[in-house]
């Protein structure tokens, strides 16, 4: 009798605790009423600094200030006036605090690009750019529009009067007058189209209008935590979860796992309820034993079936499979793993020799969640691939937990060391780079016939003795958990390919005279403006044919990095662009992120001569 009373008291305490915590959370949320400053309505993800922290996003940039009835947004280095917050299209419009729309003599305070505005949750929307210049003498050039009120603020020490000029869009180095220096690039989201013959008043109004930042990613926290895909649809934030039967169970979202286990959960639940009603005391003692027995039987059956099916599968795949090596043979090829070439999240690569003489690259796989049968399936699939731009799989090894892949050796290493111009690396010509990226596009197009995503990265592109590109690590992404690899996005390979082209062009150094000042934040926008206005990209002493090649690469890149995945072309269309005559290519819309940065994977920088 006393046990029943204790059990009832425990359940009562649990119910009261849950109700109390729920009411507390409701009370905390009730404090988060919308704020306002002037005519600006402020609600989540934004908040005033005086409001409770839980009323806004955790990023400091979403904490606004209200000073003299004016809303202020602060980055790490600069402050801006907030002119509007649109909760329908998820944008915030800000402007330099020195600019006043009704005061034409007001001047911009900041003279440097604020890279701190772009973050994981907030980024620049598409906008028009205006270049600011300082000159020590009057300029007679139709591109230069005089700013009569904002001179005498330069660092020129030997000049008594400094003149300020505007140039619509970006400026070529050849168009920069000798007496002028670059000041900064400013943005405007004004709907007024700015032409080269614009007046000072038109430019002033456009700058005072400010520029917009997208912030919808700040609303995706719960979706990201649930491993969903966060999208904007009909002016609403949507979280999509997709369940695929061929996806590893460990990679599925919680909802997909529940869908998979639902029949088992219902069956076990009904069994527990039935047994509980009949023999509750005995159930408490016997349930752990029953569950342990079920798990033991399942694991034993799974392992035995897996081992049998692997051997049976190999018997029927002799004509298609790569060569199967024993672990002792792998160890002998690598001389006990003496010569390490590189390593990454999928494993470590060693240089080896076949008995017939040729060098090979042997990847010892890191621990994965894939079963032996899944590993063999991927080996069989990769082994069937025969393409000039895909690394050939020669053989494999599977002994217990030890697994290895044997690839052809790529003597010129990976593409990243040529793009990032490591010291002592041979610089590739424009023609050679064009052929490399064309080969990459052909390889991606071939692989996309059987796979939607192959994890394209610079260090996954290897070069043979003739600098022909070959894609490596295809298929390996499927053998590892989602947390280790990253979410698979629709047409993500095309976006990565486009950003590789942009990174290659930016790293050439001589294509943009202001590359150091602009970093990569504005580089795609600068390239778009140059091509859209019919201007030539500066390429030093490049030939006319090389200029055409680079222009085709840049147009293809701009298509590949379109913001909306459905606007990006297919891989076969990209190949057609690169093989077509430059005269028939058309420019894409100016709808792409201008804040992206392809980060260099430090895990692959050490000795990647044949990393696969």
Q: Which residues are catalytic?
A: 455
Per-residue H/E/C for 13-40: HHHHHHHHHHHHHHHHHHCCCCEEECCE
Q: Pairing relation of β-strands 211-214 and 123-124?
A: antiparallel
Q: How far apart are CA 478 and CA 379, in angstroms?
A: 12
Q: How many CB atoms lie within 10 A of CB 6?
A: 10
Q: Kindly compute the dihedral angle of the four CA atoms of residues 561, 565, 566, 567, in this order, to the nearest 10 degrees.
A: -20
User: In 14-139, which ranges are E strands?
Assistant: 35-37, 40-42, 47-48, 63-67, 70-74, 79-86, 91-95, 123-124, 128-135
Q: How far apart are CA 476 and CA 460, in angstroms?
A: 11
Confirm if 99 and 108 have CB atoms less than 8 A apart: yes
128 phi and psi, to 5 degrees?
-90, 145
CA atoms 339, 343, 348, 353: torsion sign: negative
Structure tokens at 461: 């592109």
Q: Pairing relation of β-strands 461-463 and 469-471?
A: antiparallel
CA separation (Å) from 582 to 141, 214, 438, 546, 547? 31, 34, 14, 12, 10
Confirm if 383 and 321 have CB atoms less than 8 A apart: yes
306 phi and psi, to 5 degrees?
-65, -45
Q: Which of 355, 347, 356, 354 is nearest to 375 (CA)?
A: 347
HSE (CB half, 13 Å, CA atoms) of 288? 3
**Looking up tokens 């000798």, which residue turns up?**
178
As to burial, measured by CB atoms within 10 angstroms (0-12 exposed, 13-18 middle, 19+ buried), residue 166 is: buried
The arrangement of strands across the sheet holding 180-188 comes to 145-147, 163-168, 128-135, 180-188
Q: How far apart are CA 86 and CA 192, in angstroms?
A: 19
Q: How far apart are CA 62 and CA 217, in angstroms?
A: 12
2 phi and psi, to 5 degrees?
-65, -35
- Which region holds residue 436: left if phi is over 0, alpha if psi is between -120 and 50, else beta? alpha
Q: How far apart are CA 136 and CA 179, in angstroms?
A: 6
């Amino acid at each position: 009798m006393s046990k029943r009373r204790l059990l009832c008291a425990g359940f009562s305490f649990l119910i009261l605790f849950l109700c109390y915590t729920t009411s507390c959370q409701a009370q905390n949320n009730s404090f988060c009423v919308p704020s306002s400053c002037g005519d600006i309505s402020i609600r989540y993800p934004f908040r005033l600094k005086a409001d409770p922290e839980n009323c806004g996003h955790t990023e400091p940039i979403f904490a606004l200030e209200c000073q003299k009835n004016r809303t202020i947004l602060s980055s790490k280095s600069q402050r801006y006036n907030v002119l509007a917050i649109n909760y329908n299209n998820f944008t915030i419009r800000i402007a330099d605090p020195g600019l006043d729309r009704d005061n034409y003599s007001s001047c911009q305070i900041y003279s440097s690009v604020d890279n701190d505005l772009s973050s994981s949750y907030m980024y620049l929307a598409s906008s028009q750019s205006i270049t600011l210049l300082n000159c020590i003498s009057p300029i007679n050039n139709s591109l230069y529009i005089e700013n009569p009120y904002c001179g005498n603020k330069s660092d020129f020490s030997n000049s008594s009067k400094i003149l300020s000029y505007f140039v619509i869009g970006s400026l070529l180095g050849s168009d920069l007058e000798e007496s002028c220096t670059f000041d900064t690039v400013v943005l405007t989201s004004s709907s007024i189209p700015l032409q080269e013959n614009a007046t000072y008043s038109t430019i002033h109004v456009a700058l005072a209008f400010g520029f917009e930042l997208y912030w919808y990613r700040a609303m995706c926290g719960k979706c990201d935590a649930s491993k969903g895909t966060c999208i904007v649809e009909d002016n609403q934030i949507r979280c999509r979860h997709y369940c695929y039967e061929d996806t590893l169970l460990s990679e599925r979202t919680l909802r997909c796992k529940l869908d998979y286990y639902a029949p088992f959960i219902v069956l076990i639940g009904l069994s527990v309820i039935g047994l509980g009603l009949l023999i509750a005391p005995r159930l408490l003692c016997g349930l752990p034993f029953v569950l342990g027995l079920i798990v033991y039987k399942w694991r034993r059956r799974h392992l035995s079936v897996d081992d049998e099916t692997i051997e049976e599968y190999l018997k029927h795949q002799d004509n298609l499979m790569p060569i199967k090596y024993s672990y002792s043979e792998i160890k002998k090829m690598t001389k006990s793993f003496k010569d390490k070439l590189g390593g990454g999240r999928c494993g470590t690569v060693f240089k080896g020799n076949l008995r017939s003489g040729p060098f090979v690259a042997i990847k010892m796989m890191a621990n994965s969640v894939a079963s032996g049968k899944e590993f063999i399936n991927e080996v069989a699939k990769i082994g069937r691939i025969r393409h000039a731009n895909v690394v050939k799989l020669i053989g494999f090894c599977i002994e217990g937990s030890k697994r290895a892949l044997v690839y052809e050796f790529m003597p010129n290493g990976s593409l990243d060391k040529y793009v990032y111009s490591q010291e002592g690396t041979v610089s590739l010509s424009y023609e050679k780079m064009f052929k490399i990226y064309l080969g990459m596009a052909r390889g991606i197009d071939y692989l996309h016939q059987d796979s939607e995503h192959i994890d394209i990265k610079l260090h996954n592109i290897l070069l043979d003795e003739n600098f022909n590109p070959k894609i490596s690590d295809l298929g390996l992404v499927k053998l590892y958990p989602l947390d280790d690899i990253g979410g698979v996005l629709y047409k993500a390979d095309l976006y990565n390919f486009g950003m590789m082209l942009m990174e290659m062009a930016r790293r050439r150094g001589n294509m943009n005279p202001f590359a150091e000042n602009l970093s990569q934040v504005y580089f795609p926008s600068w390239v778009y403006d140059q091509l859209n206005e019919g201007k030539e990209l500066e390429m030093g002493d490049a030939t006319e044919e090389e200029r055409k090649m680079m222009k085709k690469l840049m147009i293809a890149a701009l298509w590949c990095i379109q913001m909306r995945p459905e606007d990006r072309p297919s891989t076969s269309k990209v190949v057609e662009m690169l093989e077509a005559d430059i005269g028939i290519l058309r420019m894409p819309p100016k709808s792409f992120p201008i804040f992206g940065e392809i980060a260099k994977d430090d895990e692959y920088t050490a000795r990647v001569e044949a990393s696969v």
